[in-house]
Amino acid sequence: MVGNLLISYLMQMLFTVGSVTLFGLLIYLTNRGIYRLSGNNQAVSYATGLIGTPIHECSHALMCLLFRHKITEISFYRISDDGVMGYVKHTYNPRNFYQQIGNFFIGTAPVILGSGVILLLFMCLANDSFTAMWSEISVAATSENTALSMLAAFGKMFPIVFAPSNFANGLWYLFFVLAICIALHLTLSPDDIKSAVPGLIFIAILLFAIDLVFMFIEGFTSATLLTDATSVIVEGGAFLSCFMMLSLTLSVALLAVLGVIYLIVRLVRR
């Protein structure tokens, strides 16, 4: 029974905060490579930031409101010497468990909500491809072997997003430009990560406490609360992960294109 508790708990953590953390890291590394290949040109950051930065900061602000944090100062877009293009300053009651949990979601909000905006754009501007992608996501999220199915779904993202039929759709190009502007600014800042850590700790404690209660209930009844809760959380987390996969797919595609251009330029110069 204890073994089942630990496995369920690890699965829940993996498909919730774990997936958000993982995709946040992968998007950070990919975007870092993109900026390096573009020569760390501030003009690129500021130009894409006209769209990406307000969405980044709005994500923080919306989560602040959801978790009842008080926003004391906000900047959706600015050009400054310190390179900080936007920020949201907020306060909260450290004794409030709900607000403490909110720190994780406030800190990681751009990866979650920014990916949601990209998904919405995909649905509106390239609906046929969105439908095909949604089908793959549904299969992966409800599969018995969710982790492997998600990897398979990620492999299918590229041919779906960059299907030949999309290149004949003018709206797809609009989607791509807007999505890239957003994806390049999903990167979490050091302050974002720092503020998310306390929330992560409280989420870990809360999930374990709930799982412990469910385990004891299962020990005295025929209920399968722990198993059912884990299935729901894993399925929801898988859907969320697949949304973030779309953002990562776009960033990886741009990185690959820039990498090819960089190699061609180097060969020509030789």
Query: Does the structure show a pLDDT above 70 at 1?
Result: no
pLDDT at position 115 is: 92
Let me know if residue 51 belongs to a domain: no
Let me know if residue 92 belongs to a domain: no
Range of the domain at 29: 2-40+112-269
Let me know if residue 59 belongs to a domain: no
Give the largest Cα separation in the chain, rounded: 75
Let me know if residue 168 belongs to a domain: yes
Let me know if residue 231 belongs to a domain: yes
pLDDT class for 265, splitting at 50, 70, 90? confident
Query: Does the structure show a pLDDT above 90 at 136?
Result: no
Burial category of 162 from C-beta neighbours within 10 Å (exposed 0-12, middle 13-18, buried 19 and up): middle
In the chain, % of residues over pLDDT 90: 34
Closest CA to 212 of 12, 1, 3, 5: 5
User: What's the whole-model pTM score?
Assistant: 0.88
pLDDT class for 142, splitting at 50, 70, 90? confident
Let me know if residue 142 belongs to a domain: yes
* Interatomic CA distance for residues 183 and 246, integer angstroms: 9
* Helices (runs of H) and strands (runs of E) counted in the chain: 10, 2
Q: How many domains does the chain fold into?
A: 1
Q: Which two tokens stand for residue 137?
A: 């996501």
CA dihedral 154, 26, 249, 48 (to 10 degrees): 160
Closest CA to 14 of 250, 207, 156: 207
pLDDT, tens digit, 9 for 90 and up, residues 89-124: 999 998 998 999 999 999 999 999 999 999 999 999
Query: Does the structure show a pLDDT above 90 at 69?
Result: yes
Let me know if residue 256 belongs to a domain: yes
Beta pairing partners, 91: 70
Over residues 232-253, mean pLDDT: 85
Closest CA to 248 of 147, 111, 149: 111
Query: Does the structure show a pLDDT above 80 at 149?
Result: no
